[in-house]
Amino acid sequence: MNKPDDTIRVMIPLTLRKKNGRPKILPPADYRPSEDQMQDPHILRAIGRAWSWRRRMEAGEFATIQELAQAVGLAERHVSRQLRLAYLAPQVLKRLTCGREASAVSLYDLCFLAGEAWAVQVARAVGDGAAKST
């Protein structure tokens, strides 16, 4: 058992840099992320933001997309396009957020995919091979 005055120190070699005015933690130069981590952080962030916006609109905090866009300080067109991500098929959301599969389409194209049928979304967003396995 450790005595109360014993201290354990863990040293992790990280570097702090500013990117776009925000601090960013950089891993060591020899760090190689595992190949099974294929999630795109931009897509994950956009999906989270879209769901947040959807909840706020459904709660009645904003009546229109224009009000929401003004509140978050973004262009109405951008908010409208990204809000569509909250309406993606559950299978697509699960694969993009929980799975280790890379998206077969860009974030921009994913925004327009939400208007398609769910089966089409799965086939296009994750690739034909993944859609056949479900």
67 lies in some domain: yes
The rounded percent of the chain whose pLDDT value lies above 70 is 77
The tens digit of pLDDT for each residue in 22-64 reads: 777 776 777 665 555 567 788 888 999 999 999 999 999 999 9
121 lies in some domain: yes
93 lies in some domain: yes
126 lies in some domain: yes
The rounded percent of the chain whose pLDDT value lies above 90 is 31
| Structural domain count of the chain | 1
Residue 125: give the domain boundaries. Answer: 41-132
**Per-residue confidence (pLDDT) for residue 132, from 0 to 100:** 42
28 lies in some domain: no
26 lies in some domain: no
The tens digit of pLDDT for each residue in 72-95 reads: 999 999 999 999 999 888 888 888
Phi, psi of 39 (to 5 degrees): -70, 135
- The neighbour count for residue 44, using CB atoms within 10 Å, is 12
**Per-residue confidence (pLDDT) for residue 93, from 0 to 100:** 84
The CATH number of residue 124's host domain is 1.10.10
Length of the chain: 134
**Per-residue confidence (pLDDT) for residue 130, from 0 to 100:** 43
